[in-house]
């Protein structure tokens, strides 16, 4: 445990994440320009998608793939339901629904960091998990909104209706969710990698494979800057009127990472996934979305407060998962499957 834990802590990507956190708290003016940050995240989705597709092309589509995808979808549908009911006591139903969607969905960078961890410790993982990740981005959004409407959020929604001439119907939302930019890029790259296989990888490896870890370092540097800024914002007078205390937010964000991770771990073991795949499913469960879901919530639930759901996912759950979650869950998987 502590071995893997330490070697994860001192891996270049993690250390660059810490560097970003340090820079923010030290009030350094270190900054990654916004278009560059977006370019690197496009790169990571493009690369992981293509790698996954090539891996998939190597092994024939077996029932394992279907089992994995099934487990992923089950997880994505299950998590938002209990998250919603667990938090309604703390939050307005709009915020509760937003949190349900956030934690039911996933963080691609957390997933990428986990695959990088597995590659580092030399444990194989199934390329189809890239597809599983992509599939898990959207469903929680729909579940969250469904719960929200059941909980009597309808008035607000019908208000929407008038205000925006039916623009946010469920169908519309589904489309927006499944055609979200990152989903399209991941699945598209996966498909292209799958079509081109090893021959394609030979052509693209110098871009999608070799510099991958380095790019991840640069991205995590930026994530460190961004996450720390939001942490600082929580304790900022400006944020005084926030409806929930910083303590509650941090506590919940950690609790959900652990709870959802454990649920996912259970499903992984029941589905009999191999070690690497089990860790990936677990970390997908433990992770929360800070890109796709917030973007959708802004449209569908503008009354929900990003200062809550976005901050919890980005500033607490994300750092916890890449720093502690990955080696911790890996340790548990080994212990339980032994």
Among 31, 154, 198, 202, binds other proteins (CB under 8 A): 31
Measured from the CB atom, is 106 or 201 closer to Na ion?
106
Measured from the CB atom, is 109 or 185 closer to a copy of itself?
185
Measured from the CB atom, is 129 or 318 closer to other proteins?
318
Provide the minimum distance between the beta carbon of 164 and other proteins in the complex, in angstroms, as a whole number. Answer: 6
d(CA 38, CA 33): 9
# of chain residues touching a copy of itself (CB under 8 A) = 54
By CB under 8 A, the residues from 106 to 165 that bind other proteins are 160, 162-164
By CB under 8 A, the residues from 218 to 237 that bind a copy of itself are 218, 221
Is 32 a residue that touches a copy of itself (CB under 8 A)? yes
Partner in contact with 215, chosen from other proteins, Na ion, a copy of itself, none, beta carbon below 5 to 8 Å by kind: a copy of itself
Partner in contact with 291, chosen from a copy of itself, Na ion, other proteins, none, beta carbon below 5 to 8 Å by kind: other proteins
Measured from the CB atom, is 68 or 101 closer to a copy of itself?
101
By CB under 8 A, the residues from 35 to 54 that bind a copy of itself are 35-36, 38-39, 42-43, 46
Measured from the CB atom, is 54 or 281 closer to a copy of itself?
54
Residue ranges binding a copy of itself (CB under 8 A): 10-12, 15-16, 19, 22-23, 26-36, 38-39, 42-43, 46, 175-176, 179-185, 188-189, 191-192, 195-196, 200, 203-204, 206-208, 210-211, 213-215, 217-218, 221, 295
């Amino acid at each position: 445990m502590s071995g893997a834990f330490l070697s994860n802590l001192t891996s270049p990507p993690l250390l660059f994440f810490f560097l970003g956190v340090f820079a923010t708290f030290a009030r350094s003016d270190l900054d990654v320009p916004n278009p560059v940050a977006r370019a690197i995240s496009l790169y990571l989705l493009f690369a992981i998608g293509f790698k996954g597709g090539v891996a998939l092309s190597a092994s024939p589509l077996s029932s394992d793939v279907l089992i994995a995808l099934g487990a992923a979808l089950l997880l994505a549908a299950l998590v938002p339901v209990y998250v919603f009911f667990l938090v309604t006591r703390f939050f307005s139903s709009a915020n509760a629904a937003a949190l349900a969607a956030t934690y039911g969905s996933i963080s691609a960078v957390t997933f990428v960091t986990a695959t990088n961890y597995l590659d580092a410790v030399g444990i194989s993982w199934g390329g189809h998990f890239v597809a599983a990740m992509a599939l898990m981005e959207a469903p929680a959004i729909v579940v969250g909104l469904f719960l929200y409407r059941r909980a009597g959020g309808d008035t607000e929604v019908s208000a929407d209706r008038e205000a925006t001439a039916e623009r946010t119907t469920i169908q519309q939302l589904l489309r927006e969710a499944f055609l979200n930019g990152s989903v399209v890029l991941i699945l598209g790259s996966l498909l292209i990698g799958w079509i081109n296989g090893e021959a394609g990888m030979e052509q693209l490896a110098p871009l999608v494979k070799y510099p991958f870890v380095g790019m991840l370092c640069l991205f995590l540097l930026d994530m460190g800057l961004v996450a720390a800024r939001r942490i600082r914002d929580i304790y900022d007078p400006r944020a005084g009127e926030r409806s929930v205390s910083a303590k509650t937010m941090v506590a919940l964000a950690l609790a959900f990472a652990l709870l959802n991770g454990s649920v996912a771990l259970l499903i992984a073991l029941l589905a009999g996934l191999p070690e690497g795949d089990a860790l990936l499913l677990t970390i997908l469960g433990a992770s929360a979305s800070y890109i796709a879901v917030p973007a959708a919530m802004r449209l569908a639930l503008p009354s929900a407060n990003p200062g809550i759901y976005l901050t919890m996912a980005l500033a607490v759950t994300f750092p916890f998962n890449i720093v502690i979650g990955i080696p911790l869950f890996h340790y548990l998987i080994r212990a339980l499957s032994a």
